[in-house]
Amino acid sequence: MSFRSRLTRFDRRSPAFVMTAVVVGIALLLIAWIIATQADDGVPSADDVAVRMEQRLPRVSTVQGRIELVNGAAVLEQELWIERPRRLRAEVEAGPPGVAPVGPNQKTTLVLSEEEAWFYNPTLGVATVTSRANYTPAASVDVGGSILESMPEAVLAALQNAADIQLIGEDRVAGRQTLRMQILMAQPQAPFDAQRITVGLDREFFYPLWIETDRGFALRFQNVQFNQAIDPATFVFVPPAGIVVNRINE
């Protein structure tokens, strides 16, 4: 068979050539998918956790769930809605006197929007509102913000500035797989003001689902949903009739 004949056999228009190209293409795609999956979903080293978290957090647009907050002897259970980066609503479902619900629609409530921050305490019959026009969520909690809003960035900052990070293993929190690790700080860092912070990061989004510090603070999601639509009215607070409204001007 001549050299020209061999070339003719592998003419790009021939069925044999097309089939070979398809098979090779599928094989290359499969190899690329395996490599990408292993690189993306493998357990990161302690040194790579901050990088992975910084890459994954932007994939979270909304968070909904129920959380338990512990601060010393005080324990709160709250329903939580977050639309990142500047909207949040938290309603206390159970807690100590003074913040516990006093009726079906009388719950201690925090509502954050782009413009305002509202805090309503039905026990006192008072709502406080402050402007958020110049507020930017950050690792530190300021007037008009909340640790619930800044928590992911606070954990990321702790990872980036840690003296040591120890990967403990994996655990399930709120029905989701998490990476459990301990962060050791050279100096306490706001907002946790602790030198040892233990966290559970969601394996898919690296969003903190569990936090515990050596200062008696703990936060744990009991259930959680990511990237589900939230009614915009959730982040609008309308003061109940007859309550006192205090406005803090900045």
Q: 11 and 101 share a domain? A: no
Give per-residue pLDDT as tens, 180-211: 999 999 998 888 889 999 999 999 999 999 99
Rounded mean pLDDT of 80-92?
95
Q: 58 and 142 share a domain? A: yes
- Domains identified in the chain, total number: 2
Q: 75 and 128 share a domain? A: yes
Report the candidate in 220, 225, 223, 224 with the shortest Cα–Cα distance to residue 68.
Answer: 220
Q: Percentage of the chain surpassing pLDDT 70?
A: 80
* Whether pLDDT at 34 is above 70: no
| Residue 145: how many other CB atoms lie within 10 Å | 21
Q: How far apart are CA 162 and CA 155, in angstroms?
A: 10
| Residue 130: how many other CB atoms lie within 10 Å | 18
| DSSP-assigned letters across all residues of 124-193 | TTEEEEEE-TT----SS--TT--HHHHHHHHHHHHHHT-SEEEEEEEEEETTEEEEEEEEEEEEEETTTT
pLDDT for residue 25? 52
Answering whether pTM is above 0.85, one says no
Expressed as residue numbers, the domain containing 15 is: 3-42
Q: Percentage of the chain surpassing pLDDT 90?
A: 62
Considering only residues 250 and 149, tell me which one the structure prediction assigns the higher pLDDT: 149
pLDDT for residue 14? 56
pLDDT for residue 106? 85
Q: Confidence band (pLDDT; 50, 70, 90) for 1?
A: low
pLDDT for residue 45? 86
Residues contacting 195, CB < 8 A, separation 6+: 184, 185, 186, 187, 188, 214
What is the three-class DSSP state of 108?
A: coil
Q: 82 and 113 share a domain? A: yes
Q: How far apart are CA 117 and CA 145, in angstroms?
A: 7
pLDDT for residue 233? 97
Q: 131 and 213 share a domain? A: yes
* Whether pLDDT at 23 is above 80: no
Q: 153 and 135 share a domain? A: yes
* Whether pLDDT at 161 is above 60: yes
Query: What is the residue type of 19?
Result: M
Rounded mean pLDDT of 57-75?
95
Q: Confidence band (pLDDT; 50, 70, 90) for 18?
A: very low
Q: 18 and 69 share a domain? A: no
Report the candidate in 70, 66, 113 with the shortest Cα–Cα distance to residue 91.
Answer: 66
pLDDT for residue 190? 82
Q: 146 and 241 share a domain? A: yes
Main-chain phi, psi angles of 247, to 5 degrees: -105, 125
Considering only residues 58 and 41, tell me which one the structure prediction assigns the higher pLDDT: 58
Q: 141 and 80 share a domain? A: yes
**Average per-residue pLDDT for the chain:** 84
Give per-residue pLDDT as tens, 89-133: 999 999 988 888 877 778 999 999 999 999 999 999 999 999 988
What's the CATH code of the domain at 135?
2.50.20.10
* Whether pLDDT at 20 is above 80: no
Q: Hey, which residues does 211 pair with through a beta bridge?
A: 199, 219
Based on its alpha-carbon atoms, the radius of gyration of the chain, rounded to whole angstroms, reads 25
Report the candidate in 93, 94, 133, 139 with the shortest Cα–Cα distance to residue 112.
Answer: 133
- Cα–Cα distances in Å, from 74 out to 37, 135, 146, 197? 43, 28, 17, 19
